């Protein structure tokens, strides 16, 4: 995936996560955003791809952030 489409994918994922702010708890939203950003960096470094890394990291972060209080 070239850099232009990677940026489009990451931007799309971020916008999608921002539109669900009302549907999630604050912990899940914050965890998803932080996990998505970290996943994009790790995905880029490992060759997995920033879009895929952001999706995996965002999902994991949302699950962890929405854990029991």
Query: 17: burial class by Cβ within 10 Å (0-12, 13-18, 19+)?
Result: buried
Q: Residue 68 pLDDT > 80, yes or no?
A: no
pLDDT of residue 59: 82
**pLDDT tens digits, residue range 39-66?**
888 888 888 888 888 888 888 888 788 7
The residues, any chain, with a CB within 8 Å of residue 24's CB and separated by 6 or more, are 32, 62, 66
- 8-44: pLDDT as tens digits: 777 776 666 665 555 556 777 788 888 888 888 888 8
The alpha carbon of residue 36 and the mean position of all alpha carbons in its chain are separated, in whole angstroms, by 2
Strands (DSSP E) contained in the chain are none
């Amino acid at each position: 995936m070239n850099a232009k489409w990677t940026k489009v994918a990451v931007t799309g994922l971020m916008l999608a996560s921002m539109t669900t702010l009302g549907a999630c708890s604050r912990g899940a939203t914050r965890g998803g955003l932080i996990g998505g950003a970290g996943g994009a960096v790790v995905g880029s470094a490992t060759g997995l791809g920033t879009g895929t890394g952001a999706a995996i990291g965002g999902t994991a972060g949302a699950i962890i952030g929405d854990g029991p209080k």
